[in-house]
Amino acid sequence: MHKKIKTANVIISALPYIQKFRDKIFVIKYGGSAQTDDKLKEDFVKDITLLQIVGIKVVVVHGGGKKINNYLDKLEIKSEFIDGLRVTTKEAMQVVEMVLSGSINKEITALLNKNGTRAVGISGKDANLLKAKTLNDGKYGYVGEITDVNAALILNLIKDGFVPVIAPIATDDDANSYNINADLCASKVASALKAERVIFLTDTRGILDQNGELISKLDKKEIDKLKQNGVISGGMIPKVDAALECVKNGVSNAHILDGRLSHSLLLELFTDDGIGTMIKQ
C-alpha cells in the first residue's frame, strides 16, 4: 500500500506542470544514444505518447549522426567535423539524405504510431517546409542555414492531432539539398512556432562547469563566459547557440539534458528540480 501511495504522490506532484503546459507547443530534438539504444528508444516514444495524451503539442526534430557515420564508413566516404558541424560533400549529402529522410525518419514515425501516437514523418523538403542557403559561404560544404520555416504546415498537422517528425534536410530555390544541424533546425522550428519549450537530448548530463558539475540554469552572459574559458566547446557549441537563438526569438526556455537517462523528458518537465540545464532569457 505504501508503494501505491508513493506512486499516487508522484503523479499528483506532476499535476501543476501538466496544467501549465497543456496546449503548449514543445519542440524536441531527438538524437544521440536515445536514438540508438533499443530500451531508450522505447522510453522516448512512451514519453512522447504521454506528453501528447496530457495535451502537450509535440514536434520532433531528429538527428542521426551515428548512423550516418556508419554508412559513410561502409562506403569509404571521408567525413570531418569543424566547429561541431559535419562537413558535407556532394557525395556525402546523398548518404545523409538517405539516412535521415529515409531510414531514421520512418523508424521513429513507425515506433510512435505503434505506441499509440499519431505521427507523420516529413523531410524539410516536403512542401518547402525548410528553405535554406549555404552556411558560411560553403565552409562546411552542403551544410545549410535555414532561411524560412513553413510553420503553417506544422501547425496544420498539430491541429489535426499529429506529431510531426522532421528530418533536418532543407532545399533552396534551385532544389539543392542541404544538411542542417539538427540542433539548429530544432531552434529554427521552435522559433517559427513560438514554442513554449525546446528540448535538446544529448549524450551529456547538460552543460558542465570546469569541475564537471552540472549547471542547472544559464543565460547568455554566463554562456559567453564559459565559451571564452573553453568550458563550452566542440559539439556543445551548436546546441548552446541553438538554445540561445530560441530564447532570443520568443521561446520561453530551452533545455539541454541527458538522453541516456530513461524518461529524461518527464524528469525534466514534471519535477521541481529537473535533471538538465535550462537556458533562459
Which residue ranges make up the annotated binding site?
64-65, 86, 179
Flag whether 151 is in a domain. Answer: yes
Flag whether 72 is in a domain. Answer: yes
Q: What is the pLDDT of residue 2?
A: 61
- Structure confidence at residue 242 as a pLDDT band (50, 70, 90): confident
Flag whether 11 is in a domain. Answer: no
pLDDT of residue 162 exceeding 80: yes
C-alpha closest to that of 193 among 236, 246, 234, 143: 246
Flag whether 45 is in a domain. Answer: yes
pLDDT of residue 79 exceeding 90: no
Q: What is the pLDDT of residue 42?
A: 93
Q: What is the pLDDT of residue 137?
A: 86
C-alpha cell at 13: 506532484
Flag whether 70 is in a domain. Answer: yes
The string of pLDDT tens digits covering residues 140-160 is 899 999 999 999 999 999 999
Q: What is the pTM of this model?
A: 0.92
- Structure confidence at residue 3 as a pLDDT band (50, 70, 90): low
Q: What is the pLDDT of residue 4?
A: 61
The string of pLDDT tens digits covering residues 172-190 is 999 999 999 999 999 999 9
Flag whether 6 is in a domain. Answer: no
Average pLDDT value for residue range 270-275: 88
Rounded alpha-carbon distances, angstroms, from residue 3 to 11, 91, 270: 13, 56, 20
What's at 36, amino acid-wise?
A: T
The string of pLDDT tens digits covering residues 106-127 is 999 999 999 999 999 999 999 9
Beta strand residue intervals within 135-267, DSSP E: 144-149, 163-167, 169-171, 177-179, 197-202, 217-218, 253-258
Domain count, the chain: 1
Domain of residue 104 covers 23-279
Flag whether 13 is in a domain. Answer: no
Which residue ranges make up the annotated binding site for substrate?
64-65, 86, 179
> What is the β-pairing status of strands 80-82 and 85-87?
antiparallel
Rounded alpha-carbon distances, angstroms, from residue 264 to 45, 61, 95, 117, 199: 12, 17, 30, 19, 11
Flag whether 17 is in a domain. Answer: no
Q: Which residues contact 129 (CB under 8 A, 6 or more apart)?
A: 122, 123, 149, 150, 153, 154, 166
Q: What is the pLDDT of residue 93?
A: 93
CATH number for the domain harbouring residue 272: 3.40.1160.10
Mean pLDDT across the chain: 91
Please give the span between the terminal C-alpha atoms of the chain, in angstroms, as a whole number: 44
Q: What is the pLDDT of residue 131?
A: 97
The string of pLDDT tens digits covering residues 187-214 is 999 999 999 999 999 888 899 888 889 9
